[in-house]
């Protein structure tokens, strides 16, 4: 399973066709992942909520 931005995809090869499966991540999943990345990155101080 490979992941890029907000889209997860997987390819499966079978003769003679190649099948590609796509699923879109929900808005809430994207926000959660972004928050976790910012919170765990010591160099992302500029992106953190200043009210904390």
Q: Residue 46: which pLDDT band, with cuts at 50, 70 and 90?
A: confident
Q: Please tell me whether the overall predicted TM-score, pTM, comes out greater than 0.85 for this model.
A: no
Residue 21 confidence (pLDDT): 75
Domain boundaries, the chain: 25-52
Residue 44 makes CB contacts below 8 A (sequence gap 6+) with 37, 38
The per-residue pLDDT for range 2-30, each reduced to its tens digit, is 555 566 667 766 667 677 777 788 888 88
Give which of 29, 47, 30 is closest to 38, Cα–Cα: 47
């Amino acid at each position: 399973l490979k992941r890029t931005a907000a889209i997860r995809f997987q390819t499966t090869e079978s003769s003679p066709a190649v099948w590609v499966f796509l699923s879109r991540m929900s808005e809430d999943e994207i926000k959660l992942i972004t928050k976790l990345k910012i919170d765990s990155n010591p160099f992302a101080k500029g992106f953190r909520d200043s009210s904390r």
